[in-house]
Chains A and B, each alone.
Chain A
Amino acid sequence: MQSKPIALTILDIVSVIVLGISTYLALVFAPTEAVMGDVQRVFYFHIGTAWLGLLGFIIAAIAGIAYLITKDLKWDRFEVAAVEVSTVFFFLTIVLGSIWAYPAWNTWWTWDPRLTTAAVTELIYIAYFMLRQGLDDPDKRARFGALYTLLGGISAPITFMVIRLFRTIHPVVIGNQSAAAQGGFSMSNDMKVAFFFALFAFTVIFVDLIWHRVRLGALQEQVEQLKLKLSN
């Protein structure tokens, strides 16, 4: 495996810095929301991780298509990386949403359309890893992964759109929300700064983590090839 590129080291440092700034903006710079209080501050990380969680699942589906066309395993590595990082981010989205929900809705969880589609999406991608592990042949595994992420990718736009199409308790911060929504708020200018910076910060962190995971996948492949060579 090649040594770590300098650009990746720079990206690591930038990721730590932007995460620090984003935390400062969310916890100190942004004003306290009058109705919900400090718990509203988890919103910045909640949206930041949700945006990349869902985007990552779509990126994985695109990588899956690229693999099916080219049969190049580099797309499979990219797809696995996108799914893994997105699954972690989306797990955080669900947990942060639940923490925010308790003081806002007086319950940790409810089978609302948004929460249900989010939980289904997360489970689809947890299952992806479990099913992949059952396949030893790299080509078969990559083909399966590509088709799975292609189908699983449909859940991402559904999860995104569900609060805009159905009557739901989950608020829509940007756009028109359902009449049944509870816990919504309008953002002040300082809140918008924290919000957009969180989106930017998590995008940088996402790219950094994907890059590391792709490199790990390449190393994994080298080790598998060495094992194969020695067993023959």
Chain B
Amino acid sequence: MFLETTPDTSNYMIAGYVISFLTMGIYVASLYIRNRNLRQDQQTLEDLDRTESKK
């Protein structure tokens, strides 16, 4: 009779969860950075627009 033991595949599980959180973290960071950069652009362009209007 065979006594099958469950294989130790925990390293793959850890790799899977690390990659999942890393990918989601990078995506959320990219959303934040793009938003911040666009806000800066918007501010600069609005300042320029105001200066142009005064002339």
Distance A199 CA – B28 CA, assembled complex (angstroms) = 20
B contact residues around A32 at 8 Å (CB): 6
Assembly CA distance A219 to B40 (angstroms) = 11
Q: Are B12 and A219 in contact (CB under 8 A)?
A: no
CA distance A100 to B6 in the complex (A): 15
B49 and A230 contacting across the interface, CB-CB below 8 Å: yes
Out of B20, B39, B45, name the residue touching A227 (CB < 8 Å): B45
Interface of B is mostly: helix
Q: Are B12 and A103 in contact (CB under 8 A)?
A: yes
| A45-B41 contact in complex given A36-B9, A37-B7, A39-B12, C-beta closer than 8 Å | no
Instruction: Tell me whether A45 and B17 are in contact in the complex, defined as CB-CB below 8 angstroms, given that A209-B27, A216-B31 are known contacts.
Output: yes
Is the beta-carbon distance between A219 and B35 smaller than 8 angstroms?
yes
Binds B, one of A52-60, A67-75, A91-99, A119-127: A91-99
CB pair B19 A95 closer than 8 Å: yes
A10 in the interface (beta carbon within 8 A): no
Give the total number of A-B pairs whose CB atoms are below 8 A apart: 99
- The answer to whether B7 touches A36, judged by C-beta atoms less than 8 angstroms apart, is yes
* A151 contacts partner chain B, Cβ-Cβ < 8 Å: no
Give chain A residues whose Cβ lies under 8 Å from the Cβ of B8: 37-38
Q: Contact at A216–B34, with CB atoms within 8 Å?
A: yes
Asked if B1 CB lies within 8 Å of chain A CBs, one says no
Q: Is the CB of A37 within 8 A of B42?
A: no
Bitwise interface map of B from 10 to 50 toward A, beta carbon under 8 Å scored 1, else 0: 10110111011001100110010011001101100110110
Shortest CB distance B45–A (Å):
4
Q: Is the CB of B42 within 8 A of A99?
A: no
Known contacts A36-B7, A88-B27, A226 near B12 by CB under 8 Å: no
Question: Within A33-71, which residues are at the interface with B (CB < 8 Å)?
Answer: 33-42, 45-46, 49
Chain A interface (Cβ within 8 Å of chain B)? Answer: 1, 23, 27, 32-42, 45-46, 49, 85, 88, 91-92, 95-96, 99-100, 102-103, 205, 209, 212-213, 215-216, 219-220, 222-223, 226-227, 229-230
**Could you list which residues of chain B lie within 8 angstroms of chain A, going by C-beta atoms?**
4, 6-10, 12-13, 15-17, 19-20, 23-24, 27-28, 31, 34-35, 38-39, 41-42, 45-46, 48-49, 52
A-B complex: 4 closest residue pairs judged by Cβ atoms:
A42-B16, A39-B9, A37-B9, A226-B45
17 A–B contacts, CB within 8 A, in A order: A32-B6, A33-B6, A37-B6, A37-B8, A38-B12, A39-B12, A39-B13, A39-B16, A45-B20, A92-B24, A96-B16, A103-B7, A212-B35, A216-B35, A220-B38, A223-B41, A223-B45
